[in-house]
Amino acid sequence: MNFYIMTLFPEMIEQGAKNSILGRAIDNGIISLEAVNIRDYTEDKHRKVDDYPYGGGAGMLMQAQPVYDCWRAVEEKIKEKRGSKAGAKTRVIYLTPQGKTFHQEMAGELAKEEDIIFLCGHYEGIDERALEEIVTDYVSIGDYVLTGGELPALVMIDAVARLAPGVLHNEDSAGEETFYNDLLEYPQYSRPEQWHGKKVPEVLLSGNHKKIREWRLEQSEIKTQRWRPDLYEKYALRKKLMEKLVKKNKALYADMSESLGRGRGELIYGGEDGAVVWDKKADVYMLSSFDKASAEKIVDQIPERIKDGQFILHEEWLLPPMERRFPVKEKMMCQRAVYNRDVSLPRSGEIEILQLDISWLPVISAHYHLGSEGYVEERLLSGAIFGAFIEGKLAGFIGEHIEGSLGMLEVFEEYRRKGIAAELESYMINLHLSRGHLPYGDVIVGNEASMKLQRKLGLKVSKEIYCWAIVPSDAAL
């Protein structure tokens, strides 16, 4: 992920980004940041970049020419770097108090971009004609006026960069915090146990992780209800639907309830007749229609702007209305495997299981065929793929898919029938349990080897069959 900042004060950006997590991510090459001085592009012999506004008024305005030429140079550089991959125009974000207010969801959306250009204004703003030609997004960081766009650009870069795969090392740490799941963060305590006569809550010293999770959730709920009732209302709606899905069919709807529960699912529709959840991170729409009569209505909840993508259809009667609306090109029929217990699975001490880093990309890509190399790369950078090692050699791997299910399991030919698959899956199940997640996976109908493994490990396989429907992005509508 590369940030380009067009500014009159490049040192301000460089100083602001060189420390802490952002600085480390830059040093490690996970993100790059380049502050480009707009003044270097002025044609004025005195290096002037501003002038009086026509029609009068207070202050000076940044002129169109240096801003435009600076942008051209940055855009050119990005095109050159991308080479044949050059696609849509790079997003250009103009920081202004008149823009759309920045929030966590916008940060998540921007984190998917490979390159972002920020344009920092000064004085009374920038000549409108330059803005019209180059800006794609007008963004404010809040209803107050600052002296320039550099601090807002740094705020946005910090919020976006920390969501990019690999920046925080642990995929989960970007998850369980304020705004995750529309809940404010629970209170935290460190040593000493007693300070100013105040004791750390007993439950946090108990070592009982389940109880600790429950306590934290309860504290988050209380805090949110008190300080942010607007957020709490959204959270409560989602919670109600989750409970309903679990009650109806815990295995079949595990993807929807986990997506909502892990704070990545947005409730597009939730009613007596069904639900539509959009998993923001995976960009997958999950649909369920509790009765056949409402199938058409449920499919109609998918927003008009969606032209392609991946959809999970939980009931067979969703397929005909789906195919009427979208040119579905691929269908994968699955059954859901769920680990319902909360006790960890035993592990043999002989097989070492380690998180795989990006250096394993060629090996994993060569063996995993249900996703692109880009997908494997994203999963490795997110720390979501784990390998089994025997005598120091990689014998197989397993991963967590982007929407949260367990999968990508592969044991290399020469290591099969040694119980490695069971070891890898047990490891992942235990990891999910330790994070408070429900371990679940999609088993392709007819994959008897996988079915056997799921049953052996004590997972419950749903009898219902659901469908992954894929509408390719180049499908003509």
- Tell me which residues touch ligand ADE (CB under 6 A): 95-97, 140-142, 144-146, 149, 152
- Closest to ligand ADE by CB, 75 vs 124, is 124
| Shortest distance in whole angstroms from residue 64 CB to ligand ADE | 19
* 401-440 b/e (C-beta count within 10 Å ≥ 16 → b): bbbbbbbbbbbbeebeebebbbbbbbbbbbbbbeebbbbb
| Shortest distance in whole angstroms from residue 75 CB to ligand ADE | 22
- Closest to ligand ADE by CB, 154 vs 429, is 154
| Shortest distance in whole angstroms from residue 471 CB to ligand ADE | 37
Alpha helices in 262-318 (DSSP H): 295-299
List, in order, residues 6 or more apart from 296 with CB less than 8 Å away. Answer: 321
- Closest to ligand ADE by CB, 84 vs 98, is 98
| Shortest distance in whole angstroms from residue 151 CB to ligand ADE | 8
What does the block give as tokens for 392? 């120091």
CA 362 – CA 255 distance, rounded (Å):
29
Whether the CA torsion 37, 43, 45, 46 is positive or negative: it is: negative
- Closest to ligand ADE by CB, 142 vs 229, is 142
List, in order, residues 6 or more apart from 161 with CB less than 8 Å away. Answer: 1, 3, 22, 25, 31, 111, 167
| Shortest distance in whole angstroms from residue 149 CB to ligand ADE | 5
Q: From residue 77, give the alpha-carbon distance in Å to each of 2, 86, 94, 380.
A: 12, 11, 19, 28
| Shortest distance in whole angstroms from residue 304 CB to ligand ADE | 31
- Closest to ligand ADE by CB, 123 vs 180, is 123
Contact between 117 and 92 (Cβ < 8 Å): yes
CA 348 to chain centroid, in Å, comes to: 33
| Shortest distance in whole angstroms from residue 146 CB to ligand ADE | 4
CA 359 to chain centroid, in Å, comes to: 22
- Closest to ligand ADE by CB, 53 vs 148, is 148
- Closest to ligand ADE by CB, 95 vs 184, is 95
| Shortest distance in whole angstroms from residue 120 CB to ligand ADE | 8
Which phi and psi angles does 237 have, rounded to 5°?
Answer: -60, -45
DSSP assignment letter at 445: T
- Closest to ligand ADE by CB, 12 vs 467, is 12
